[in-house]
């Protein structure tokens, strides 16, 4: 690093967006708390409205905040060093997301490797099985829980396999889009990025189909169908939320590209969205292996 790079680190002026963001998160948290609480007690309250207001506020904040950042960037206020700050910030954010999924993968592996076999009498737990759940035999997918709830295992063939192919392909097209951007080939960039978004949307479409299949009379695989249903829906559900977020990010990039933003050298936002997309893809691969195939 040279002294030159350091001289122009941009410190933004006061901003009202962060405090708006904090209020928005307060609405979301307090609203969600009330909503869940009231739903549990079968009463109606203001929680849902507060939650929606919170989301609306968060979206407003993002528009305003990112608008500031984009304008500052376009005005040439950012140095190479600032770009590094953004890049490093985004990578550590993605790492924190990895750890969030790790908690749920951990739960899945613990249930498969320890709690279900132990309930079935493995190790020195013969009495657990004999005294508490004599009818129960350990198996995975757990299609019959100790308390007798039955369900069915979701196969990996068909929709999940199709979705894997869709998402893996979208990661490749996202990469091609990035290459096109670096070569300043705008028409190709638009095509590849548009294709990525379409692939992402079709993934989401088929994921909804699969949930409908899971909740059908034939499968009877519900969120509360024991630990197999829990981990299945929580992992794929959180992944689906991240894909949705990724599609939104890519769409914003798509619009910005049509507005003529980004240069071959300066395109942090695009890069961040594309990193996020690759991350979502890798998580799916893990899901496909550990939730569906194994």
Q: For the segment 148-167, give every residue that binds other proteins (CB under 8 A).
A: 149
The residue within the footprint of other proteins, chosen from 29, 74, 130, 212 (CB under 8 A), is: 29
| Smaller CB separation from other proteins, 130 or 165 | 130
| Smaller CB separation from other proteins, 12 or 134 | 12
Tell whether residue 276 is a contact of other proteins (CB under 8 A).
Answer: no
Tell whether residue 215 is a contact of other proteins (CB under 8 A).
Answer: no
**Cβ of residue 195: shortest distance to other proteins, in angstroms?**
31
**Cβ of residue 251: shortest distance to other proteins, in angstroms?**
23
Tell whether residue 74 is a contact of other proteins (CB under 8 A).
Answer: no
**DSSP for the chain, written as a single string:** --HHHHTT-------SHHHHHHHHHHHHHHHHHHHHHHHHTT---SHHHHHHHHHHHHHHHHHHHHHHHHHHHHTT---HHHHHHHHHHHHHHHHHHHHHHHHHHHHHHHIIIIIHHHHTT-TT-HHIIIII-TT----SS--B-TT--B--PPPSTTHHHHHHHHHHHHHHHHHHHHHHHHTT-HHHHHHHHHHHHHHHHHHHHHHHHHHHHHTSTTT---TTSHHHHHHHHHHHHHHHHHHHHHHHHHHHHHHHHHTT---SS--HHHHHHHHHHHHHHHHHHHHIIIIII-
The residue within the footprint of other proteins, chosen from 21, 121, 160, 200 (CB under 8 A), is: 21
| Smaller CB separation from other proteins, 7 or 217 | 7
Tell me the HSE value of 123 on the side-chain side, using a 13 A CA sphere.
9
The residue within the footprint of other proteins, chosen from 11, 43, 75, 131 (CB under 8 A), is: 11
Span 31-60, contacts to other proteins by CB under 8 A: 32-34, 36-37, 39-41
| Smaller CB separation from other proteins, 54 or 160 | 54
Span 96-155, contacts to other proteins by CB under 8 A: 96-100, 102-104, 106-107, 110-111, 114-116, 118-119, 123, 132-133, 142, 145-147, 149
> How far is residue 243's CA from residue 276's CA, in Å, rounded to a whole number?
9
Q: In the numeric block, which tokens belong to residue 255?
A: 């619009």
Q: Which stretch binds other proteins (CB under 8 A): 174-182, 223-231, 240-248, 250-258?
A: 223-231
The residue within the footprint of other proteins, chosen from 45, 60, 65, 211 (CB under 8 A), is: 65
Tell whether residue 84 is a contact of other proteins (CB under 8 A).
Answer: yes
Span 224-263, contacts to other proteins by CB under 8 A: 224, 226-231, 234
């Amino acid at each position: 690093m040279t002294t030159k790079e350091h001289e122009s680190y941009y410190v933004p002026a006061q901003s009202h967006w962060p405090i708006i963001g904090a209020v928005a998160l307060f609405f979301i948290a307090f609203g969600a708390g009330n909503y869940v609480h009231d739903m549990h007690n079968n009463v109606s309250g203001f929680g849902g409205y507060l939650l929606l207001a919170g989301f609306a506020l968060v979206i407003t904040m993002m528009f305003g905040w990112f608008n500031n950042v984009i304008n500052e960037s376009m005005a040439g206020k950012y140095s190479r060093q600032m770009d590094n700050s953004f890049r490093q910030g985004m990578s550590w954010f993605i790492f924190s997301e990895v750890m969030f999924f790790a908690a749920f993968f951990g739960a899945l592996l613990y249930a498969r490797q320890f709690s279900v076999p132990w309930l079935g009498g493995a190790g020195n737990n013969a009495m657990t099985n004999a005294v508490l759940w004599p009818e129960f035999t350990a198996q995975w997918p757990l299609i019959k829980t100790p308390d007798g709830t039955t369900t069915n295992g979701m196969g990996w063939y068909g929709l999940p396999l199709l979705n894997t192919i869709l998402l893996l392909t979208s990661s490749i097209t996202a990469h091609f889009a990035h290459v096109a951007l670096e070569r300043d080939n705008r028409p190709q960039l638009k095509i590849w990025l548009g294709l990525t978004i379409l692939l992402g949307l079709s993934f989401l479409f088929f994921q909804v189909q699969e949930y409908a299949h899971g909740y059908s009379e034939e499968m009877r695989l519900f969120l509360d169908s024991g630990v197999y249903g829990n981990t299945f829906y929580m992992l794929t559900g959180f992944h689906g939320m991240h894909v949705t977020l990724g599609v939104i990010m890519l769409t914003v990039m798509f619009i910005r590209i049509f507005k003529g933003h980004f240069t071959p050298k300066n395109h942090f936002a695009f890069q961040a969205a594309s990193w996020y997309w690759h991350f979502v893809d890798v998580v799916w691969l893990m899901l496909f292996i550990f939730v569906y195939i194994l």
